[in-house]
Amino acid sequence: MRPTVYIKDLKNHVGEEVTLKGWLYNKRSSGKLKFLILRDGTGYIQCVVFKGNVSEEIFDSADKLTQESSFEVKGKVKAEPRSVGGYELDVTDMKTVAISHEYPITPKEHGIEFLIDNRHLWVRSKRQVAILKIRARIVKAIRDFFDSRGFTLFDPPIITPNACEGTSTLFEMDYFDLGKAYLTQSGQLYVESGAMALGKVYSFGPTFRAEKSKTRRHLTEFWMVEPEMAFYNLDDDMDLAEEFLEYIVQTVLAECKEELKELERDTTKLEKVVRPFPRISYDEAVEILKKNGINFEWGNDLGGTDETVISGQYDRPVMVHRYPAEVKAFYMKRDPENLKVALAVDVLAPEGYGEIIGGSQREDDLDLLLSRIKEHNLPQSFFEWYLDLRRFGSVPHSGFGLGLERTVSWICGLEHLREAIPFPRMIYRNTP
């Protein structure tokens, strides 16, 4: 009984009689004609019910369909450039599956809290469908990129006994008789062990931050991809990040035209995301801030506004490298030519979307790493296994992390991360 034809494939069925199954998106009437817009998850088509072509019972049933009622419809496919999707169905038969009574999300405006309360239904709307399809296409682009370049997927654990970047923003749980455990904030330490085993690896999974930030750029649960490569230095890392972002954006541009149009995305901005990306040092970034009248002190981390000013200078992502070591994680390698800075890079998206990639070359010297752990007051015992990676065949290595939802937001042109994931989790919401 499953559908044999979906709306997206109708171009191969012009002139044929097909049966489609889905939900009523919209309808209108004009005397002896009823126009039903059917959606089936793959697209939209206008189904034309002409009184002369169907029984009275069927004609009446078309009238009774309400928004989001489910039905099956049989008819002949014809090309119709003026119609949504470019095709129409001349209906010969119809069967109502279930009538939907007072569907809560109507074409009128709704408040955002109401929509998120109804996220399980909101995902059916045209805009959300477009975003979710782009999200899925981005995920596939990410995986294809690494799979076709000799990387091996290496899934780090979600439940971890310790913290990667401090303990204040961790979700904590009881783990049987073993005491407290935490939800991972990053798989990075683990993928480093993978890089030593497999050369080039990546992880791609959910990560968690119990951050009390209520901004549009924060989710408590978000997906992150983290490649890690043995024998890569910071320059190699930046080369890879640049190629990676170009690939994602250009793939979506080529393959999600309909969805970007639905979102009214200005694609000319995305077309500019091609290599080479500008690479500036943190020092140069500070100069830019000062030139723009911002009172910024060397040594601070870049804030959201700072990032917007810097990325505003460029028409494509900008890579800011060599941050003050003090503001970066303990595992980042210092620049041998200037020990005050870490061999780190942040990639700032254009159009004010902020940091989408953070990466670095990792400290590969055992003694230096040990002293960083002490400086950061981290318990060495938790990191013994990680230190082993420096005890046994340490090599220069680098990697980065890209946040999926920030990338989806940027590419789709969203104002808030909450639309970039099916069921957003924020400080004040973990439902539905």
Q: In this complex, which beta carbon is closest to a second copy, that of residue 30 or of residue 431?
A: 431
Q: Would you count residue 257 as binding a second copy (CB under 8 A)?
A: no
Site for a second copy in 90-149 (CB under 8 A): 97-98, 100-101, 103-104, 118-121, 123-124, 128-129, 132-133, 135-136, 139-140, 143, 147
Which of 156, 317, 350, 399 binds a second copy (CB under 8 A)? It is 156
Distance CA 74, CA 16 (A): 10
Site for a second copy in 360-399 (CB under 8 A): 364, 385-386, 388-389, 391-396
Site for a second copy in 277-316 (CB under 8 A): none
Which of 109, 174, 297, 415 binds a second copy (CB under 8 A)? It is 174
Phi, psi of 359 (to 5 degrees): -150, 180
Phi, psi of 384 (to 5 degrees): -55, -45
Q: Would you count residue 153 as binding a second copy (CB under 8 A)?
A: yes
Site for a second copy in 325-354 (CB under 8 A): none
Q: Would you count residue 248 as binding a second copy (CB under 8 A)?
A: no
Distance CA 1, CA 3 (A): 6
C-alpha to C-alpha distances, 284 to 115, 320, 349, nearest whole angstrom: 43, 9, 17
Closest contact distance (angstroms) between CB of 83 and a second copy is 20
Closest contact distance (angstroms) between CB of 22 and a second copy is 7
Under 8 Å between Cβ of 408 and 356:
no
Site for a second copy in 189-208 (CB under 8 A): 190, 193-200, 205-206, 208
From the list 52-60, 171-179, 293-301, 305-313, the region that binds a second copy by CB under 8 A is 171-179
The vertex-221 CA angle with 219 and 222, nearest 5°, equals: 85
Closest contact distance (angstroms) between CB of 42 and a second copy is 6
Q: In this complex, which beta carbon is closest to a second copy, that of residue 79 or of residue 97?
A: 97
From the list 27-35, 233-241, 288-296, 371-379, the region that binds a second copy by CB under 8 A is 233-241
Distance CA 329, CA 201 (A): 21
Partners of residue 21 on adjacent β-strands:
72
Q: In this complex, which beta carbon is closest to a second copy, that of residue 50 or of residue 175?
A: 175
Q: Would you count residue 406 as binding a second copy (CB under 8 A)?
A: no
Q: In this complex, which beta carbon is closest to a second copy, that of residue 35 or of residue 171?
A: 171
Q: In this complex, which beta carbon is closest to a second copy, that of residue 219 or of residue 357?
A: 219
What x-and-dash track marks residues 53-82 binding a second copy by CB under 8 A?
---------------xxx------------
